[in-house]
Amino acid sequence: MTKRILIKGAAGRMGTNLIKTVASNPDTTLAYAVVHPEAPQLGQNVPEFAEVKYISDLSQATDFDVAIDFTSPESTLETLAHCQKLGKPLVIGTTGLNAEQKEKIQQASTSIPVVFAANFSVGMNLMFKLVEKAARVMGTYSDIEIIEAHHHNKVDAPSGTALALGEHICKALGRDLDEVAVKERNGLIGPRTKDEIGFSTIRAADVIGEHTVWFADIGERIELSHKVSDRITFARGAVHAALWLSQGPEAKLYDMTNVLGLDKL
């Protein structure tokens, strides 16, 4: 049965890629395209789905199977409450959420299934597992650095994906990222500490997303890198997650590791 998808932020860069992906997938169709009240597309027909109009009132969107939200933290919490009210599963790709907002997602996932991931690329989620393995081999004695680059309009730093890489490394090493992360270096800071994980941020032009992790020892280093050249890869991963949710998993908080079965590797 074709699954009906609600897309929040449908006029944005990710939203348009999500609509294209839904249109090209025989197992999905667009139920609602929700946009900001001031979006110029409001009231117009969605090009790929002539029977669907862009709307701004989320309360009008009730007949769907799964929702996908790549917007802002505040907007995402609105979608979360709406899905919880209707008992609908939700895919969240929003970044920049604080601890309190993440806790609200955790609480909601006790009543509806939620896939919440820092990155929906299949390749990046594989990289999460690779850095865990590298950390178990080299992490106790090497210097670990995470370098990320994104377009000049990205508002949060380090990126959610860079922080997720740090979390996966800390998971393998039994460390707390909040205690070992170094996100700024300026002036006379002294030598690096043994356990710290450094983050370097680049913001330039139209870079979609690049992440590199160094495990550096005297005389050698391992570099694991992932680069994205088209946002459609994130959209494909998100729609894959939506179809996975539509199979009816129990109410719980999931990530792409669960969706892709990476823990079975």
Query: For 75-116, what is each residue's pLDDT tens digit?
Result: 999 999 999 999 999 999 998 899 999 999 999 999 999 999
Q: List, by residue number, the catalytic residues.
A: 150, 154
Q: Which of 98, 80, 57 is nearest to 251 (CA)?
A: 80
**What is d(CA 53, CA 38) in angstroms, rounded to the nearest whole number?**
15
Taking a C-beta distance cutoff of 8 angstroms, is the pair 115, 255 a contact? yes
Tens of pLDDT, residue by residue, the chain (265 residues): 999 999 999 999 999 999 999 999 999 999 999 999 999 999 999 999 999 999 999 999 999 999 999 999 999 999 999 999 999 999 999 988 999 999 999 999 999 999 999 899 999 999 999 999 999 999 999 999 999 999 999 999 999 999 999 999 999 999 999 999 999 999 999 999 999 999 999 999 999 999 999 999 999 999 999 999 999 999 999 999 999 999 999 999 999 999 999 988 7
Taking a C-beta distance cutoff of 8 angstroms, is the pair 129, 265 a contact? yes
Which domains are present in the chain? 3-116+231-264 (3.40.50.720), 122-228 (3.30.360.10)
Q: Which residue has the tokens 């009231």?
A: 43
60 DSSP 8-state letter: G
Q: What rounded mean pLDDT belongs to the chain?
A: 97
Q: Which of 29, 103, 23 is nearest to 66 (CA)?
A: 29
> What residue type is assigned to position 197 of the chain?
I
* Residues flagged as binding site for NAD(+): 9-14, 93-95, 117-120
> What residue type is assigned to position 237 of the chain?
G
Taking a C-beta distance cutoff of 8 angstroms, is the pair 178, 195 a contact? no
Q: Which residue has the tokens 């609908």?
A: 88
5 backbone dihedrals φ, ψ, rounded to 5°: -105, 135
Q: Which of 229, 208, 232 is nearest to 23 (CA)?
A: 232
